[in-house]
Amino acid sequence: MGLLDRITSPQDVRALPARDLDRLAAEIRDFLVEQVSRSGGHLGPNLGVVELTIALHRVFESPHDTLVFDTGHQSYVHKLLTGRRDFSALRRRGGLSGYPSRAESEHDVVENSHASTALSWADGIAKARQLRGEPDRHTVAVIGDGALTGGMAWEALNNIAADSERRLVIVVNDNGRSYAPTTGGLAQHLDVLRTTRRYESLLSWGRSTLHRSGPPGRLAYEALHGVKKGIKDVVAPQGMFEDLGLKYVGPVDGHDEASVERALRRAKAFGGPVIVHVITEKGRGYTPAEQDVADRFHAVGRIHPETGLPLAPSRFGWTSVFADEIVRIGRRRPDVVAITAAMLQPVGLAPFAQEFPDRVFDVGIAEQHAATSAAGMAYGGLHPVVAVYATFLNRAFDQVLMDVALHRAGVTFVLDRAGITGDDGASHNGMWDMAMLAVVPGLRLAAPRDEATMRAALRTAVDVDDAPTVVRYPKGAMGDAIPALDDVDGVDVLARHEGEGRRVLVVGVGPMATTALATAEILAGHGLAVTVVDPCWVLPVPAALVKLAGEHDHVVTLEDGLVDGGVGALLGQRSREANVATPVQSVGVPSSFLDHASRDEIVDALRLRPHDVAADVLTALAARG
C-alpha cells in the first residue's frame, strides 16, 4: 500500500513524517501521469505544484483555513490530498471536475476558471474573517505569474496592501508560463527576483572566504554588508511588493517541500498580508513535459503515458483554418496585426508570429487591455485582430462597447471555442457571445459553417474599418463543406424541400447548419415544405432573413448560443417590427450554467439533436392547428 493510498484528508498529510514527503510527491506524480494520460486534462500545471500543495496542506488547516486557487487548473493535487482519488471520469459527466468544485468538497471555494480572480476572492474572504472576529482563520491565494499579468490581480493587491491586519497569504507560483511564456514587465521583474539564488550563493562564498582568512575585522564585515546591500538592490528588488506594504518572502525552491513549508510557516506567523514567491517548473518530473518548449502539456487529450504523444491524431480543425487564413491576410495586408491574451498557440497565432514577429502582441491574461489597446492601434492606422476564447471575451465587454464600438474602431475579434465546449465546465462554454454582443451598436458578427465560409468571413471582417467585427467558431474538428444552392441578398440557401404542407424556414447558425439540414429532412418526411438557410453574418439580423421569414408559415432557428437574446430572439423582434407575423421558434442553449460533460452529452440533454428539434417543431405546428 503506497503513501497516497493512505491519504483521505489533509489531516493525514499533516501526520506524515517529513522523511516520507518526497516519496508522497513521487507517488502523486506517477498517479497524475497515469490517470490524466487516460482522461485528458491539465497535466503540466499539476505536476509543477506537487510539493507546494503538500506544504500548503501541512501548514494550513483546510477548510478552517481557506485555500483559493487562481484558475484552478492546478488543483488536481489538492483534490488528491482532500480525499478525491477517483480520476477515472475526470472532466466527464458524473466524474470529477477539472477545476475546484463546491459540489465535490468543502475544501473547494472558487469554481470560476477565469484567471486573475483569486486575489479579489481572498481579499473578500479575509475581510469577512476580520469583521466576523475570526483571527485564527487564514486565507491563502495561490496565483501564477501568468495570472499576475491580469489587471484585476493588481486591483486586488492595491486593496490588500491597504490593511496590514488581515491574515492573508499570497503564494506566487512562478514557473515563467501561463499557456505560454509569461510576457511583460512583471515577468521581467520576477526573472530578476529569481536571480537571488545567485545572490545568496555569492554571500555564502563571501562568508566562507572571510572565515578562511582568519578573524575578520570590522572593515571586512562592513565590506560584506555593502556587497550584500548592493547586490540585493540590483538583483532582488522586492521593493515592488514591499513598497505596497506587503511582506515578501522568497524566492523559494518550489520543489523543496521543506523550504516551502518553512516559508509558509513564516508567512502564517506574520499576522498580515504576505507574498511568498515560490519558483516551480511546469511539468516537473515528466520527461516529455520537461523537454517540451511549446507547452503542449498544459492541457492534454488522451496521450501515451511514456511518450506523451496523442493516442489519436487530431483532425483538421477550425483553429487551424484560422491560423492559415490569418497568415494569408497578413501577407496581403501589412496593416493587419494580431493580439493574444497569453494564448498564442491555443488560438492559432503561432504561424502568424513566426512569419510576422513584429506584428504580434501578447498582452498577458489581460483581455480588457487587449480590446482597448486594439482600439488605439486602429486609431493609429492598423487593423488589429484580437484572438481569444469566446468565454474570455466576456471579461472585456465594457471595452468592446465603450472603447471599440463607441469610437467606431476597426477591430476584428476572433472567438475560438464558441458555443458548447463541454468538458471544462460552466465557465468555459462559449455560449454567451452572440446574446452579449447583440446589444453593441454597429457591431457585425459572423458564424461560419465550414472552411470556405470561415475564410470568407475573416477576409470580410478585416476589410471593415469603421466598426468592430466578430468571427466565432467552435472547438474541435471541422466538418464537411456545405455548399449553398442559392444566395438571397447575402443569405445562403442550403436546401429546399417541396411539400404540400405548411412552409417552414429552418435557420442554421454557424456549425448548427448541419443540424438544420438533418432537421429539414425529417420535417420534409412529414409532408412539409422546408427551406434551410444560413445567414453567416448573423448580427445585425439581415433584412433578407426577415423577408424570408415573412414568406413562410413557421420559422425555427438553431444556434449554439443562448436562446434568450440570441439570433432567434432578435429575428423574432425584427420580424414584429417589420409587421411580419410568422412565429419564430428559437432553439439553443438555456440561460443556465452547464455542468461539465462531453459536448454530445450536453447536446442530447438540451434536445438539440435533429429528431428532437423536428419533434418540437411538429408539436408547435400542431398546437397552432
Q: Which residues are annotated as a binding site for Mg(2+)?
A: 145, 175
Residue 475 appears among annotated catalytic residues: no
Q: Which residues are annotated as a binding site for thiamine diphosphate?
A: 73, 113-115, 146-147, 175, 286, 367
Nearest to 79 by CA among 9, 6, 130, 29: 9
Buried b (16+ CB within 10 A) or exposed e, 409-425: bbbbbbbbbbbbbbbbb
Judged by DSSP in three states, 529 sits in strand
- Which residues 6+ apart lie within 8 Å of 479 measured at CB? 450, 511, 514
Cβ contact 176:182 at 8 Å: yes
Between helix 21-39 and helix 50-59 the angle, nearest 10°, is: 120
What is d(CA 304, CA 276) in angstroms, rounded to the nearest whole number?
Answer: 36
* Start-end of H helices in 161-286: 185-194, 196-212, 218-235, 239-242, 257-270
What is d(CA 509, CA 518) in angstroms, rounded to the nearest whole number?
Answer: 14
With vertex at residue 172, the alpha carbon angle to CA 79 and CA 8, rounded to the nearest 5 degrees, is: 20
Tell me if the bond preceding 10 is cis, omega within 30° of 0: no
What is d(CA 150, CA 180) in angstroms, rounded to the nearest whole number?
Answer: 15
| Residue of 51, 257, 325, 367 marked catalytic | 367
What is d(CA 297, CA 536) in angstroms, rounded to the nearest whole number?
Answer: 35
Residue 228 appears among annotated catalytic residues: no
Q: Which three cell numbers stand for residue 131?
A: 469583521
Cβ contact 377:465 at 8 Å: no
CA dihedral over 579, 584, 588, 593, signed as positive or negative = positive
Residue 194 appears among annotated catalytic residues: no
| Residue of 84, 166, 167, 282 marked catalytic | 282
What is d(CA 275, CA 266) in angstroms, rounded to the nearest whole number?
Answer: 11
Q: Which residues are annotated as a binding site?
A: 73, 113-115, 145-147, 175, 286, 367
| Residue of 92, 137, 247, 395 marked catalytic | 395
* Start-end of H helices in 60-195: 76-81, 118-131, 151-160, 185-194
Tell me if the bond preceding 448 is cis, omega within 30° of 0: no
What is d(CA 511, CA 153) in angstroms, rounded to the nearest whole number?
Answer: 36
Residues classed as catalytic: 282, 367, 395
